Amino acid sequence: MINMVYYANLLLGKEAGLILKFFGSKEFESLNSAQFFFKNQNDFILSWIKNEEIRAQVSKLAILFSERLDEQQLSFQEKKEMVLTKSTSSSALFGFLEPKGGRTVTCKCPRCGNNGTNKWDAWIPDKGSAKFVVCNHRTNCGFSGDLIAVYAEHYGLGYGQAMAHLSDELGIDFS
């Protein structure tokens, strides 16, 4: 749940009190859901506020709050960079790669090594510090991807799902 008091004070300053008076107890799962809610507040929906002047103020503030909440959200690329920054191929999350070696770090390919053949035909560039894996197996499965794609391939997830799982595991809260 997002902290409405925090975001209202941060984004609206001294005008936060009016929004909090009417919506302070409302709970939102994410900034996106709060942004959607406030974007759709208008005079008709707010007709339960009897004072027309206050209703107009609340309507304007809701739209302003929605716009400012939108500015607070991270793009997909920003989220991806945060996950990749905290990810390392040597962490327990990527233990299935079973990296080995010193100068050249080889590992099991998440695609062609998943079939139980124990293939050590993929490698992690930059002595294992790179954030991606490349398969160079003779059958040339062609896998090449960042650590999020590696995780997705290994667990059979979509890229976005893998990013969400990794963010949870790494303690990154996008809300």
Q: How do residues 41-79 score in pLDDT, each as one tens digit?
A: 887 888 898 999 999 999 999 999 888 888 877 778 888
Could you say which of 72, 87, 104 is where a domain stops?
A: 72
In a domain, 136, yes or no: yes
Residues ≥6 apart with Cβ < 8 Å to 68: 11, 12
Identify the CATH number of the domain in which residue 163 sits. Answer: 3.90.580.10
Tens of pLDDT along 147-156? 999 889 888 8
pLDDT for position 154: 85
Clarify whether residues 100 and 45 are in a common domain. no
In a domain, 175, yes or no: no
pLDDT for position 118: 54
Q: Which of the residue ranges 3-12, 119-128, 160-169 would you say has the lowest mean pLDDT?
A: 119-128
pLDDT band with cut points at 50, 70 and 90 for residue 114? low
Name the pTM for this structure. 0.60
In a domain, 118, yes or no: yes
d(CA 24, CA 70): 19
In a domain, 31, yes or no: yes
pLDDT for position 20: 92
In a domain, 150, yes or no: yes
Q: Average of pLDDT values for 99-110?
A: 77
pLDDT for position 89: 78
